[in-house]
């Protein structure tokens, strides 16, 4: 069952054809769309609700909280344009606090694909999810010539003798591309996580942090409710904190100017050059 908040032109038409009566354009009325999805889920349907990311998680936040999460109903919220994905369309269309806000709700899980190939794997997992979930879509930045990495929740995309870097979502692509051009001894060990919240971290990741003693987390999301906070919390609890920790996050709109996704990443020092500079700084620590 697929519900859209009146979006999907030149994209969702084949899905509409395939689903027939199970495809509903719920109109520009996101609060109602979520409540209705709860009613459908209560009767055994598995609704997927689609819109531009902020319109699916922020506008109907109370409906998500009360109607979906309190009842633990398996409704999937599909948000297109995670982070600064909508670029120069402006701040109202950005989603830089989405998974942090949603993960504050009981029973909610968030899925953040990084590459095209992750999407179908995550859809399979979402179809089987017994809880409400949010699917944060972005645009793949897989380096040219690189094969689609096999999907896992936690993946080590690149080994190296440098710092440990943990990324969320497509932003990892550019860093991965730059790291591949470095020698193995100095390049970062790059990890990617796709499913939130972080309940635990794998022993291999923890071993990597213990080895490097330098951890960098990058994500197109504000610090509050971020993966950086979650992983720092987890490592503190486990007594496995590295000596050096850096966290690059979305800084909202420091200049008050608007531009492409890359423009906003640069303003938040989340572009590849800034992150590589950070890693060089980190090399003098530990």
Partner 1 sequence: MNKHPLNPAFVRQARRRLLRMHFEAGVGHIGGNLSALDILLTLYHEVMTPQDEFVLSKGHAAGALYLTLWTLGLLSEEELTTFHQENTRLSGHPPPNAIPAIAFATGSLGHGSGLANGLALAERLRGGKGHVFCLTSDGEWNEGSSWESLIFARHQRLNLTLIVDLNGLQGFGSTAEVANLDPLAEKFRAFGLHTIEVDGHDLSALRTVLTPFASNAGPRIVVAKTRKGCGVSFMEDRMEWHYLPLNPAQYAAALKELDEETDRGRH
- Which residue ranges make up the site for partner 1 (CB under 8 A)? 1, 21-22, 24, 26-27, 29, 31-45, 62-63, 66-67, 70-72
Cα dihedral across residues 81, 58, 247, 168: positive or negative: negative
- Shortest Å, Cβ 105 to partner 1: 13
Which residue's CB is nearer to partner 1, number 33 or number 201?
33
- Shortest Å, Cβ 12 to partner 1: 19
- Shortest Å, Cβ 100 to partner 1: 22
Which residue's CB is nearer to partner 1, number 30 or number 97?
30
Which residue's CB is nearer to partner 1, number 14 or number 44?
44
Which residue's CB is nearer to partner 1, number 72 or number 92?
72
Which residue's CB is nearer to partner 1, number 34 or number 126?
34
Which residue's CB is nearer to partner 1, number 44 or number 203?
44
- Shortest Å, Cβ 196 to partner 1: 23
Q: Can you read off the two tokens belonging to residue 280? A: 């060089």
Q: Are 248 and 80 in contact (CB under 8 A)?
A: no
Which residue's CB is nearer to partner 1, number 43 or number 144?
43
- Shortest Å, Cβ 43 to partner 1: 3
Which residue's CB is nearer to partner 1, number 37 or number 157?
37
Q: Comparing C-alpha atoms, which of 184, 178, 235 is closest to residue 210?
A: 235
CA 260 to chain centre: 18
- Shortest Å, Cβ 58 to partner 1: 15
Parallel, antiparallel, or unpaired for β 164-168 and 76-80?
A: unpaired
Q: How far apart are CA 171 and CA 220, in angstroms?
A: 7
Q: How far apart are CA 16 and CA 11, in angstroms?
A: 10
- Shortest Å, Cβ 36 to partner 1: 4
- Shortest Å, Cβ 110 to partner 1: 21
């Amino acid at each position: 069952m697929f519900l859209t908040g009146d979006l999907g032109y030149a994209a969702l038409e084949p899905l509409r054809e395939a689903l027939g009566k199970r495809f509903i354009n719920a109109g520009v009325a996101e609060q109602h769309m979520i409540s209705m999805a709860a009613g459908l889920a209560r009767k055994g349907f598995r609704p997927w609700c689609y819109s531009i990311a902020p319109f699916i998680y922020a506008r109907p936040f109370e409906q998500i909280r009360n109607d979906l999460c309190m009842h633990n109903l398996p409704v999937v919220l599909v948000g297109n344009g995670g982070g600064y994905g909508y670029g120069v369309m402006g701040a109202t269309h950005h989603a830089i606090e989405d998974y942090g806000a949603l993960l504050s709700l009981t029973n909610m899980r968030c899925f953040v694909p990084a590459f095209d190939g992750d999407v179908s794997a995550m859809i399979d997992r979402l179809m089987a999810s017994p809880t409400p979930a949010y699917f944060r879509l972005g645009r793949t930045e897989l380096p040219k010539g690189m094969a689609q990495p096999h999907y896992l929740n936690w993946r080590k995309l690149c080994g190296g003798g440098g710092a440990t870097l943990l990324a969320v979502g497509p932003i990892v692509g550019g860093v991965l591309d730059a790291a591949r051009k470095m020698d193995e001894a100095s390049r970062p060990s790059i990890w990617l996580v796709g499913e939130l919240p972080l309940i635990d971290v794998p022993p291999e990741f923890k071993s990597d942090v213990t080895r490097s003693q330098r951890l960098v987390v990058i994500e197109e999301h504000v610090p509050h409710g971020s993966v950086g906070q979650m992983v720092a919390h987890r490592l503190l609890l486990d007594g496995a904190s590295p000596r050096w920790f850096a966290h690059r996050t979305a800084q909202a709109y420091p200049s008050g100017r608007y531009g492409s996704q890359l423009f906003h990443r640069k303003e938040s020092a989340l572009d590849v050059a800034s992150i590589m500079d950070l890693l060089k700084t980190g090399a003098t620590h530990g």
